[in-house]
Each structure stands twice: as structure tokens, then as C-alpha cells.
Amino acid sequence: MRAVVIEGPRRVRVETRPDPALPGPDGAVVAVTAAGICGSDLHFYGGEYPVGEPLAVGHEAVGTVVEAGPQVRSLKVGDRVMVSSVVGCGVCPGCATRDPVLCHGGLRIFGAGALGGAQADLLAVPVADFQVMKIPESISDEQALLLTDNLVTGWAAAKRADIPLGGTVAVIGLGAVGLCALRSAFVQGAATVFAVDRVGGRLDRAAGYGATPVRSPAAERIIAATGGQGADSVIDAVGSSASMTDALNAARPGGTVSVVGMHDLQPFPLPATTCVLRSITLRMTTAPVQRTWPELIPLLQSGRLDIDGIFTTTLPLDEAAKGYATAQSRSGDNVKILLKP
């Protein structure tokens, strides 16, 4: 099969690897029909996360089941499915909450070393009944692909931000996760959403969704626009030291900062005293994928939650290097790249 691998900073190629074997009697093999390039993949591509040897990347996949173990109960060969980007054991008390982040054995993520990468022709999925869901007929491939990670992450970021009905929210970073968080914030009751980024095209895109665009750093502008108070809730979809500092400064006293962006491997100098004196709640998480599906699928089916326009570019798998270069440019015209094996 073909698989996208990263060899080092800005070095991407598609190589031939052996087809994956069935990962146990409770596992499945999925023929990937669409895969996404995520902002966190760019940490490997940009060199922020070290790559010791060619790494098969990607953790967002939809496809068709081509093999299922004898213990798999919810799926059969030929089913059109989406695969959770975050993998849990499926049997521990943490996984019983349907949140793989809470797995007692530790979460795993496709395309990060131990498991295969989803930007490939085939993907082996352990504990398929927990990790994989048959896609409802009314859900498109693009919607399903966002349900494997980015939409789930943006939705969880908003839920963990304690958004009051009619409240004010700031979303820092207008990539795919940030735009999903922005739309989720409105659905969850925000009256005003400040959309923060440095790229004019992304600010314009957010304005089209009903948000108030603000160039970063944004804390002073948000405080001024809220009568000196700051935002009730701040979502950081970047995760850099600069964006987290901006987020903490933009929150009102008693507000909540919800971080879902991926930081680099360096420590963050948390202004703990300031946070204590201003009674700031700080929450961080990755995607609690399976737990959100029962909430998000009906919202997508009803049209209450609209994610059209998140994917801006579609390329064949063999043009993955072009896709990564496009994603790394972080332009206003290119937000989310879809790869088609």
C-alpha cells in the first residue's frame, strides 16, 4: 500500500509499505477513502516534534471496512465508516465514558509512531467496536472526516470554556479547529465571538460566519470592546506560548480559558499569580472523539451546526507533499487539506 511519511523538516513523500495485518480478533482494516492533514501533523512537518525515522502520518480517516475480526460486533465488511483519531483500549473505566482521552492504559493517536498513519491506502484499527463508527447516510465524507478530530476538538473546546448563554467568547487561531470552535460557540449560546488571527483572509472568513474579527495579539482590543472586562470564555486553538499568554490576558476575572492547540515541547511560563488573583479557570484537552458523536451527528443532520467551507483544497494522496506545503503556508485561502487515496 501507499503511505505518506515525514522524513524530517519539510520532507514528505509517499512510499510503498506492506499492507497492514488485522490487529487482533477485535480489530478491523479500513480502506481509506479520505484523509485530512491536521494542524498537529504540521508539528512533525515543521520540525517542532522530532522524527527519528520516516514516520507514517495522519490521524483523520474515513473509508470502507475491508476486513473485520471475529469479535467485531458493530461493523461488517463493506460498511462506510469513520475512525476516531484518538485510540483507547475500549474496556477500562475511562473508556466506558466513551472518552479515549481518559483511557487507563494511556491514549494513543494514529500517525504518531505506535499505530499506522491514516494518510494511506489502508489503516489497521484495534478494538474496532470502540474506535470505529458506521457513518449515517446523511453525513458527507467531509463532515465525517471532521468528526474524527477537528470538529470534535472545536466542540469540546467550546464546552469546556464554560460559555454562558448570551456570553462573549474569543477564539484564537482560525485554522480548521478554530473555525469549528467558533461555530460551536455560537451553537452553545454565545452572543458575541471575537475571531483572532494574523491572516486577513482567515479573519474575513470568520466574519462571514458572524464573528467579530480581531488581529492578534488581541487581549487589549478584546478588553476595550467589552468595557474593560474581557471575554467570558477564551478558546486557544493555536497552543503557542504567545497565544496562551494572549488568551489568559483576554479572559475576564472569573473567566475560563480552554486550550486545545498543540504546544511545542518547551515549558510554558504560566503567570500563576495573575491567574490566581483573577480567578482564571484553565482547561486543556485533546479530542474526546467518541463521546461527542451522539451530540454532533444530530446537529449536523439538522443543519443547526454548519461546517461547510472548512475543507478548502482536495488533492490525490500522491500529491501529499504539495498538500503539506499548502497547509504550512496558513494562508487565508487554504484552511484544511483533504487527501484522496
Look at residues 243, 260, 284 and tell me which one is the last residue of a structural domain: 284
Is the predicted pLDDT of residue 189 greater than 90, yes or no? yes
The reported pTM is: 0.95
Instruction: Supply the range of the domain harboring residue 232.
Output: 153-284
Question: Cα–Cα distance between 233 and 165 in angstroms, integer?
Answer: 11
Is the predicted pLDDT of residue 50 greater than 90, yes or no? no
Q: Cα Rg for the chain, rounded, in angstroms?
A: 20
Q: Are 27 and 72 in contact (CB under 8 A)?
A: yes
Query: DSSP assignment of 106-145, as one string?
Result: --EETTSSSSPPSSBSEEEESSHHHHEEEPPTTS-HHHHH
- 315 shares its domain with 248: no
Residues with Cβ < 8 Å from 321, sequence gap 6 or more? Answer: 12, 13, 14
- 166 shares its domain with 124: no
- 83 shares its domain with 232: no
> In this structure, what DSSP letter does residue 99 have?
-
- 275 shares its domain with 299: no
- 145 shares its domain with 167: no
- 124 shares its domain with 220: no
- 6 shares its domain with 144: yes
Q: What is the mean predicted confidence (pLDDT) over 55-71?
A: 98
Give the pLDDT confidence score for residue 137 in this predicted structure.
Answer: 87
Question: Cα–Cα distance between 222 and 169 in angstroms, integer?
Answer: 10
SS3 216: coil
CATH of the domain at 125: 3.90.180.10
Q: Is 123 exposed, middle or buried (0-12, 13-18, 19+ CB in 10 A)?
A: buried
- 67 shares its domain with 145: yes
Is the predicted pLDDT of residue 236 greater than 90, yes or no? yes
Residues with Cβ < 8 Å from 11, sequence gap 6 or more? Answer: none
Look at residues 268, 284, 300 and tell me which one is the last residue of a structural domain: 284
Locate 259 and state its grid cell. Answer: 486550550
Give the pLDDT confidence score for residue 264 in this predicted structure.
Answer: 86
CATH of the domain at 218: 3.40.50.720
- 40 shares its domain with 179: no
- 162 shares its domain with 86: no
SS3 340: strand
The pLDDT tens digits of the residues spanning 290-325 come to 999 999 999 999 999 999 999 999 999 999 999 999
- 140 shares its domain with 51: yes
Give the pLDDT confidence score for residue 76 in this predicted structure.
Answer: 98
Residue 48: Cβ within 10 Å count: 16
Give the bridge partners for 193, in sequence order. Answer: 169
Is the predicted pLDDT of residue 68 greater than 90, yes or no? yes
The sign of the torsion formed by the CA atoms of 163, 169, 171, 172 equals negative
Q: What is the mean predicted confidence (pLDDT) over 110-138?
A: 95
- 158 shares its domain with 84: no
Residues with Cβ < 8 Å from 324, sequence gap 6 or more? Answer: 10, 12, 37, 41, 42, 45, 337
Instruction: Read off the pLDDT band of 178 (50, 70, 90).
Output: very high
Question: Cα–Cα distance between 54 and 36 in angstroms, integer?
Answer: 19
Q: Are 21 and 334 in contact (CB under 8 A)?
A: no
The pLDDT tens digits of the residues spanning 91-118 come to 999 999 999 999 999 999 999 888 999 9
Give the pLDDT confidence score for residue 246 in this predicted structure.
Answer: 97
Question: Cα–Cα distance between 157 and 235 in angstroms, integer?
Answer: 6
Q: What is the mean predicted confidence (pLDDT) over 168-174?
A: 98
Considering its fold, how many domains does the chain have in total?
Answer: 2
Q: What is the mean predicted confidence (pLDDT) over 153-174?
A: 98
Look at residues 248, 269, 284 and tell me which one is the last residue of a structural domain: 284
